[in-house]
Amino acid sequence: MLQQFDTFVGPDVQWFALSPMLTLLGGALALMLIGALTPQWPKGLYSAFTAVIAVATGVLAMFQWDDISDEGTSTLVGGAIAFDTLSMFLTITIAIGLLLVALLTDDYLRGTPNDGPEIYALYMVAALGGVVMASANDFIVLFLGLETLSLALYVLASSNRRSGQSAEAGIKYFVLGGFASAFFLYGIALVYGATGTTNISEMIAALSASVDVFHPDSLALAGIGLMIVGLAFKVAAAPFHVWVPDVYQGSPTPVTAFMASVGKAAAFAAVLRVLVIALPFYRDDWRPIIWVLALLSLLVGSSLAIVQNNVKRMLAYSSISHAGFILVGVEAAAHTAGEANPGSGMPAVVMYLMLY
């Protein structure tokens, strides 16, 4: 037994590559400790601290460009984390969203009972979950990032203690989000049963080795279908959009902005990781589903946004419509997924998310 421990080698950890995640985690913990151990800070310092963490996260991600350009795509922490251009650009996108929402929240929360560090710490925890999702190279890590993001958003949605609508939004989001997470996790289990692994790199290698005799099996297809259901809820694609108008309307305005920007970017990062990167050999089976989701989202979002008389509900349906446009980009990325020349579908999705 002692000899086994003597020969044990832990996973290779490149701390600089993980620095954006560690910055967000350290910022959230530091803010909670400072809020608990020191007197009330002057107004605006919580927001300023969060803005500094967001800028630091984005700058650290930008500095990784040279390493990615020189070394190409690599994996970290025993293959659990991907170090590539997709993770870098989406980390920058999430950092920008965190920065803007932190500045917006400062004015919104002044003079309210929520004018403390908790909201900002939850922002950073949610952003951390989003960065983990964008960088995941394993379905289990992806699920952990998804739940980190989701749990923080559930609390943020119900954070306005003076509003019954906020409490209702938090409960609806929690209940329906729990069902969506269950579908996604069950889908992971079925795909694992079909492929024998949850690691994306190993999954690609296994499917590539059998490409000449590749035949989709019912277990994998059922798992992919369940994962698409869970992801469609997270990206607010029709017909899994019913939670969006009520949650967006009832949540505090900065939280709504955070959901529509950081939450959507992280959710589409998961879509790209699961469908385009991990499962391109099943694209003939899942592409029709993405087409249907995209068309329904465009029709439902655009049609129902016109008749709304509440700005936040109108923006909610606009978000559904935008999900349809982004799914069109996912469909374009799927057309050449897994090939030597992957085309411009995935860069188009990332650029759309950055601008959105």
CB contact set of 126 (below 8 Å; sequence gap of 6+)? 148, 149, 152, 153, 156, 258, 262, 263
Residue 340, pLDDT above cutoff 50 = no
Q: Per residue in 4-39, pLDDT tens?
A: 545 555 566 677 888 999 999 999 999 988 888 877
Residue 114, pLDDT above cutoff 70 = no
Does any domain span residue 334?
yes
Residue 244, pLDDT above cutoff 50 = yes
Q: What pLDDT does residue 115 have? A: 66
For range 297-321, the mean pLDDT: 93
For range 295-304, the mean pLDDT: 95
Does any domain span residue 1?
no
Paired residues of 81 in beta bridges = 76, 136
- 76: three-class secondary structure by DSSP: strand
Q: Per residue in 46-97, pLDDT tens?
A: 899 999 999 999 999 999 887 777 776 778 888 889 888 999 999 999 999 9
Q: Per residue in 176-222, pLDDT tens?
A: 999 999 999 999 999 999 888 999 999 988 877 665 545 568 888 99
Q: How many domains does the chain have?
A: 1
Helix 85-109 / helix 345-355 crossing angle, nearest 10 deg: 10
Q: What pLDDT does residue 99 have? A: 96
Cα gap 80→82, rounded to integer Å: 7
For range 213-234, the mean pLDDT: 86
Residue 3 pLDDT class (50, 70, 90 cuts): low
Q: What pLDDT does residue 30 have? A: 94
Name which of 100-109, 110-119, 241-250 the model is least confident about. 110-119
Q: Per residue in 253-273, pLDDT tens?
A: 999 999 999 999 999 999 999
Is 191 exposed, middle or buried (CB count within 10 Å of its CB: 0-12, 13-18, 19+)? buried
Does any domain span residue 198?
yes
Does any domain span residue 75?
yes
Residue 157 pLDDT class (50, 70, 90 cuts): very high
The pTM score is: 0.92
The residue range of the domain holding 56 is 12-355
Greatest pairwise CA separation for the chain in angstroms: 71
What whole-number percentage of the chain has pLDDT above 70? 90
- 138: three-class secondary structure by DSSP: strand
Does any domain span residue 7?
no
Does any domain span residue 329?
yes
Q: Which helix (H) or strand (E) holds 350?
A: helix 345-355
Residue 158 pLDDT class (50, 70, 90 cuts): very high
Does any domain span residue 97?
yes
- Mean pLDDT, the chain, rounded, equals 88
Going by C-alpha positions, the residue among 188, 78, 64, 187 that lies closest to residue 131 is 64
Q: What pLDDT does residue 116 have? A: 74
Residue 341, pLDDT above cutoff 60 = no
What whole-number percentage of the chain has pLDDT above 90? 62
Does any domain span residue 324?
yes
Residue 139 pLDDT class (50, 70, 90 cuts): very high
Phi, psi of 54 (to 5 degrees): -65, -45
